[in-house]
Amino acid sequence: MLLVGNGTVVTRDRNNAIIQCGCVAIRDDVIAEVGQTAEMKSKYPGAQFVDAEQKLIMPGLINTHMHFYSTFARGMASKSTPPSNFMEILERLWWRLDKVLTQEDVYYSALVPVIDCIKNGVTTVFDHHASPFAAEGSLFKIAEATKLAGLRACLCYETSERDGDAVTDQGIRENTDFIRWSSEKNDPMISAMFGLHASVTLSDRALERCVLANEGTGAGFHIHVAEGVQDLED
């Protein structure tokens, strides 16, 4: 038994109860009980106790859309004219960046934000990755980083036609390989979806190929929609 107490417990139950000087009792990785710290310590005298030091005790936050690979672009200045629309942001920054990523870049650009997540109470992340010329094995590299840090992750690779048929094929393979691997591994800390960029970079034919490739896996699709006027015009 593990007790996390001496904090303010945000229960998120039907009544949204808040327990001052509260405590959470955890058995076999499952929350067994919540209550007052003194009460829980008395009830479970042999339990390991973690002092929350009067901080919040609450369910972990979930980041439902992330691009780990963008980490090292924080604060990066544009050398060209500032972009005036979403497509220009993609063309002048993100598509230049993801084309030069290596496997090592992929790993470390995941490890840094994973640490940030833990520091800020995020326990689960959905990451949509892109590295067109280092696609093969990229999701496995990211999984190494999240596993090392103990962060729960759902990963997918951004399939796109913007860099030609060979790169599209590789993106589809990376998705299917990782989906198969995560399903076989059956690890509660790692799962997979099939990543699709957006309607502006995927034809109907490509979308059909992705649907066929993902058939029978049970994995869902992760796609960008309505990010710019181009999505409406497409």
Q: What is the per-residue pLDDT across 216-225, written as a single tens digit (0 to 9) for each?
A: 999 999 999 9
- The CA-atom distances, in angstroms, between 173 and each of 62, 86, 168, 188 are 27, 28, 9, 23
Of 129-133, 159-163, 227-231, where does mean pLDDT reach its minimum?
227-231
pTM of the predicted model, to two decimals? 0.88
Q: Which residue has the higher pLDDT, 73 or 215?
A: 215
Helical pair 165-185 and 204-214, crossing angle rounded to 10 deg: 20
Start-end ranges of CATH 3.20.20.140 in the chain?
61-233
CATH 2.30.40.10 at 2-57, yes or no:
yes
Q: What is the per-residue pLDDT across 75-127, written as a single tens digit (0 to 9) for each?
A: 777 777 787 787 788 878 888 889 999 999 999 999 999 999 999 999 999 99
Pairing of strands 18-27, 30-36: antiparallel
Start-end ranges of CATH 2.30.40.10 in the chain?
2-57
CATH superfamily of 61-233: Metal-dependent hydrolases (3.20.20.140)
Q: Which residue has the higher pLDDT, 162 or 84?
A: 162
What is the overall mean pLDDT for the chain?
A: 93
Sign, CA dihedral 88-116-191-179, equals positive
Q: Name the strands in the sheet holding 122-129, side by side, starting at the edge strand that comes first in the sequence.
A: 61-66, 122-129, 152-157, 190-192
